[in-house]
Structure 1
Amino acid sequence: MGKRLLILTAAMGAGHDAVAGELARRIAPRGVEVSVVDVLDLVPLRLGHGLRRMYGGMLRGAPWLYEWIYQAFFVSASPPPPSPLTALIARRLERRTPEPPPDAVVSTFHLAAQVAGRMRLRGRLGAPSLVLVTDFAVHRMWSHPGNDRYLCPDEASARAVAERTGRPAGRVAPVVRPGFRRADDGGRLRALAGARPDERIVLVSAGAWGVGGVVETARGLAASGRYLPVVLCGRNRRLLARIREDGIGHALGWRDDMPGLMAGAYALVDNAAGQTCREAFACGLPVVTHRPIPGHGRDGAEAMARAGLSAFARSPAELLETLDGLADERVRAARARRVDLLFDAVRAEQVIRAALG
């Protein structure tokens, strides 16, 4: 009988699901039966769906509230008590775990890591539990001493997790679709944006939720006369309509051809420090953070900038100055060398296969 792998994720944005899906794609052909479970779907009465809507609503209309929650529960020096939600999801996951049970469990979302760690610590999960950390700034919710191993994006985050949990932690290469590593534009982005041959196209990412101050960012880029902003609005139709009505650059909804679009851009202006940044890294597209969303978005942007992977522009003037600097091939090459080190690491699926036995 083949090995079984259970991947726990959550559809908070698109990044965690993207990582889970790519892991499944890489591992399943090796004779492993892979199951992917969204832990929020295990919350009764569709309350998990309500949590998603609440999170998106906070980011759009009350970012100050999310910042308060993040400071109080995710990074506070005084840890709150364990969440009843974790215990509830753990009980329901136990009932849904198939027979025979999995040979390993991998979590790609922090709540999933809490659930798996709790089950492992209490003897309710016999298989090794690994956590694939998808944030550069590893807040406390990622860490649970019940998990066996942590797979982190860089050495700094691995050290922080190991100190907090006492568990082994090491860096692994970013988990992105292979198309991003060999992307070819073919002129599609320039044609979509109606750009002149000499115009520098800057992608402005609002994530899957379509949140943050991207309208102001796009307006500033367009007003400079030096860059043509193309706003990636995700699934936010209102944002898409607003950008198009205001005539600020160009706007795109949810896209499945991001590798090609990134290959045709001059730079990416991001506000969440999430999976879109790792995809840009894979494409060789320089990343600049501006107007980050609160909490993990801001902290992740600062962590990436400290590591030399991206730039953090804290004002509109600094954003333009940073983008202007990317015209120097030496600057781009230096950034690319730091990014290449991310991918010069063991692949996550190799560690997971070893855990499967």
Structure 2
Amino acid sequence: MTRRLLILSASMGAGHDQVAAELARRLGAEGADVEIIDVLHLLPFRLGVALRRSYHWMIKRAPWLYEVIYQVFFLAKRAPSVSPLTGLMAARLSRELARRPPVEVVSTFHLAAQVAGRLRRRGRLRAPSTVLITDFAVHRLWLHPGNDRVLTLNPAARASIAAATGLPAFTCAPVVAPAFRDRTAEPGDRLVLVSSGSWGVGRLAETARVLAGSGYTPVVLCGRDARLRRTLAGSGAGVVLGWRDDMPGLMAAACALVDNGAGLTCVEAFAAGLPVIIYRPIAGHGRDCALAMARAGVAGYARDAAALLDALDRLRDERPRVALASALFASAPAEAVLISAPGGRPAPEATARAESCPE
């Protein structure tokens, strides 16, 4: 009988959805029937669209405001409840679960983990619930104890995840497309990819000027921000590109990646064996993920332009970091963990509660 799995993601940027899509492809190749639901679509009155737009605006125009929200809601031990949002999502998701019950639910976004954990704890989700943390740093909204287990790509995070939730935590290999592991082209000595995620966040023009002024050829990835692409193209700031589907080829041709999101693009570079230097990370989770990557030794963290250029000028010294980053892929693939050891415990009674539950 075909196993039906449900993956919960969110269109906040592109990374969570890309991980969900690649995981679905792998599980489908193993014979599973996989459905992906964007939890933002579960919100009524287009609230999901409003949430995405407000986050987009903050991260680009008012990063200080996002930093405040991140500190209060994502990190503080006595953070305000997020139950109004998750409650709205949970009501719609309950109907979807009744329509087509899965044998397991996998969350690739923190609000999805909150919704699944809430339903599981209240006995309204009978299937096991696994959280696949796509970030290198882990904040509290990933860690709802109502879920059954947690998968993380950062081996150093396992112990703290288990301590915070009481759940089994496992390390799995980062979920990226297999094309990134095929590095057959010779990288250019001075070609540097400059990435800012799908939304083109950050001071890309300044970064490109710093690189170009030191003899490097910046290839600036503007994501889906067409206005940013036009602006940078007119400034002569190296090679300027929009959203690309040929990232494996671009990474194979580059000598390094300069990134400010510390998200999926960095992980793809790890897979490609491309040195990663994080420069001017975005607020909130971007900065924390950058610091976590630096502590793990898988990426460099340049705090100013001089440090950025110094790191690029000493790329031979980045080989130990590249080796550590490549070693992340020695862990079991996420799909193997899901298929070989299905998560699960008896669905808790609706009365069960935990004081630590961030509902």
RMSD (Å), alpha carbons: 1.4
The residue identity in structure 1 corresponding to 2:321 is R
The residue identity in structure 2 corresponding to 1:222 is A
Q: Distance in 2 between matches of 1:180 and 1:5?
A: 26
Q: Distance in 1 between matches of 2:210 and 2:82?
A: 44
- Partner of 1:44: helix, strand, or coil? coil
Residue 321 of structure 1 corresponds to: 310
1:296 aligns with 2:282: no
- Partner of 2:45: helix, strand, or coil? helix
Query: Which stretch has the larger CA shift, 280-289 or 44-53?
Result: 44-53
The residue identity in structure 2 corresponding to 1:247 is G
Count the aligned residue pairs.
343
Gaps of at least 5 residues in structure 1 are 191-198
Q: Distance in 2 between matches of 1:206 and 1:230?
A: 11
Query: Which stretch has the larger CA shift, 104-113 or 76-85?
Result: 76-85
- Partner of 2:131: helix, strand, or coil? strand
Q: Distance in 2 between matches of 1:82 and 1:247?
A: 45
1:205 aligns with 2:192: no
Residue 193 of structure 1 corresponds to: none
Shift of 1:4: 0.6
Instruction: Name the TM-score, length of structure 2 as normaliser.
Output: 0.93
Q: Distance in 1 between matches of 2:156 and 2:106?
A: 21
Gaps of at least 5 residues in structure 2 are 345-359
1:333 aligns with 2:323: no
Q: Distance in 2 between matches of 1:46 and 1:83?
A: 18
Q: Distance in 1 between matches of 2:211 and 2:78?
A: 41
1:94 aligns with 2:80: no
The residue identity in structure 2 corresponding to 1:9 is S
> Which structure has more RCO (C-alpha within 8 Å, separation ≥ 6)?
2
Q: Distance in 2 between matches of 1:5 and 1:60?
A: 35
Query: Is contact 1:107–1:113 with CA below 8 Å preserved after alignment?
Result: yes
Q: Deviations over 1:248-306 (max 9, x none)?
A: 11110000000000000010000011000010000000000001000000000000000
1:232 aligns with 2:218: no
Residue 272 of structure 2 corresponds to: 283
Q: Distance in 2 between matches of 1:246 and 1:99?
A: 53
Equivalent positions of 1:1-357 (< 5 A) are: 1-185=1-185, 200-224=190-214, 226-326=215-315, 328=316, 331-353=317-339, 354-355=341-342
Q: Distance in 2 between matches of 1:61 and 1:336?
A: 33
Shift of 1:24: 0.5
The residue identity in structure 2 corresponding to 1:205 is S
- Partner of 2:124: helix, strand, or coil? coil
Residue 195 of structure 1 corresponds to: none
Shift of 1:59: 1.1
Quick one: structure 1 residues 32 and 356, their matched pair in 2 at CA, closer, same or farther if it must change by over 3 Å? farther
Q: Distance in 2 between matches of 1:128 and 1:64?
A: 38
Q: Deviations over 1:46-96 (max 9, x none)?
A: 110111111111111111110010001001132222330101101110112
Query: Which stretch has the larger CA shift, 345-354 or 116-125?
Result: 345-354
